[in-house]
Chain A
Amino acid sequence: MADERENYSPNLIRMWRAFRTTKEMCRDRGYEMLEEDYQISLSAFAAKCGRQDGEVDRSQMNFSCLPSAEMAKKYTAPPTAKNPDPQPDIGKIWVEFNGDENVGLKQLRDYMAHLVDGQYYSGVMVTMKPMTGMALRLLRGAAGIAEGPKGGVEVFVEQDLLVNITKHELVPTHVLLSKEEKDHLLKRYRLKETQLPRIQVTDPVAKYYGLRRGQVVKIIRHSETAGRYASYRWAI
């Protein structure tokens, strides 16, 4: 392995790591993903995305994936009399690695238009550097506007994906609850969601799982004295 790495530029190795984390992130959210896909070797990555000059052709890294049946179920509200056949609030996702040195409103709007044209439910954009303030402002307001895809756009900086934070031993397991499970939990403990402890959707782990406001996650910790215990947080 060490010998193999010497053959590749630091940048290529960097992007390989970011690519793997992004794939793992999609798998952990519940998208369909083959093992060979998120465990791609450095040489296979270099063959797929490397350029003659040793740098990375980011456009070769883009991919899309579909929610697994289990994920679709989790994102489907329980049927009601009014809506007997609810559709899942999730769908095909498009992940794009942007190669521009600076990313602003222009790239973000082009990206949103691409998602709408391609009928993607949501998108993840990975940029080399943080976006401009105005692009972030557009993003904050984009969830409800007609301009973007239904499921919104998430943005990550390459730097944040070099390691998979959820693999760190101190990060407990997070499990998203479906709407039904959430209702059940609140009923059982006679709570209102506002009475639960909170987690910010901007929290790095919340971002990794793509938590949306209003969702509840179960957090499972391992304790030497108490074994495993669970707590719940409401995403805001």
Chain B
Amino acid sequence: MPATQKQRDVALHHADIIEQRKRVEKDVLDAIIDLMDFPEARNADPQRPSPADALRFREAVAIFQPSDYDALIEERNIAAKCGYALCPRPKRKAPSAARKHFIDTSKGVEIVDRRVLEVWCCDDCARRALFVKVQLSEEPAWLRQGGFAGDIELMVENAGEHPRTLPLRLKGSSSAPPKPADVEEHDAALAWQARDDALADLAVERGEKPGRLSKANRELVQDKIRERVATKAPEPPSLPTHSSHMAIEGHVPRTSRNEDDDEDDDGQDWDKHLPG
């Protein structure tokens, strides 16, 4: 029955979304655990992060909502670290345990809550961290239609060392630059690679396992798109050679049909198929 099948598909689709939500929540948790003790190098510079660190950070937070990012900052602070995940330094310590503190700022003296004061190691890290936060999507990753892995930009002083676009994960890529003769071929390979990556990302974004279309999804979307393919040059419409002037909107009433056409539709035909 089509109605129950449809209901089953809808239920499957919702189960899919719940499954996806669980997966994203787990991924966010794993990312936060990973970024809690980040970066590994004790002398890493948050103003000039290594390309590898920067990439790991950007990829990890791409699925975050701003609240997840706040959770990351909270967890780092509990571990006494600066809230900015690219900074290895400890968070700032307020001069005393008092709840409010007077702080000299460019706008004069301000009263600041101790908790706020102790989030970062310095104001510079606060700026760089918030620069990332404002780019995060409010929409949960399991509901995002586009830009699942939206590229997150960082505020860095060594921009030249970082690839501008989302770096491509090349299989077995070597650090040596390609020879000039290969450049074109290499570019083409990169383009195909990028396309494959994008398709894989798109599949994930739609809740499908990469390379496999979810059954529930496929059956919910029933519209079929058929491309119009031109096989010959267009020509103006003309009357079909055998068409009758009796045709009504293309339908030829019975009376004007040929005798042999009529045979299949004979009113007496039906009893031939009955057993006995």
Contact = CB atoms under 8 A, between A and B. Distances in A.
B79 A106 contact: yes
A4 B74 CA distance: 41
A139 B12 CA distance: 28
A134 B76 CA distance: 12
A132 B71 contact: yes
A227 interface: no
Interface residues of B, number: 12
A106 B75 contact: yes
A104 B75 contact: yes
A107 B29 contact: no
Given A132-B71, A132-B74, A132-B75, A105 B36 contact: yes
Nearest to B70: A133
Interface string B25-50: 11001001100100000000000000
A132 B29 CA distance: 12
B134 interface: no
A107 B78 contact: yes
B257 to A, nearest CB: 64
A102 B71 CA distance: 13
Interface in A219-233: none
Contacts of A103: 78
Place the interface of chain A in its size category: 10 to 19
A107 B36 CA distance: 12
Chain B's interface: helix, strand, loop or mixed, by majority? helix
Contacts of A137: 25, 29
Interface string A136-150: 011001000000000
Interface in A122-159: 132-134, 137-138, 141
B26 A105 contact: no
Nearest to B68: A134
Given A105-B32, A105-B33, A106-B36, A132 B26 contact: no
Interface of B: 25-26, 29, 32-33, 36, 71, 74-75, 77-79
25 contacts: A100-B78, A102-B74, A102-B77, A104-B74, A104-B78, A104-B79, A105-B32, A105-B33, A105-B36, A105-B75, A106-B36, A106-B75, A106-B78, A106-B79, A107-B78, A109-B33, A132-B71, A132-B75, A132-B78, A133-B71, A134-B32, A134-B71, A134-B75, A137-B25, A141-B29
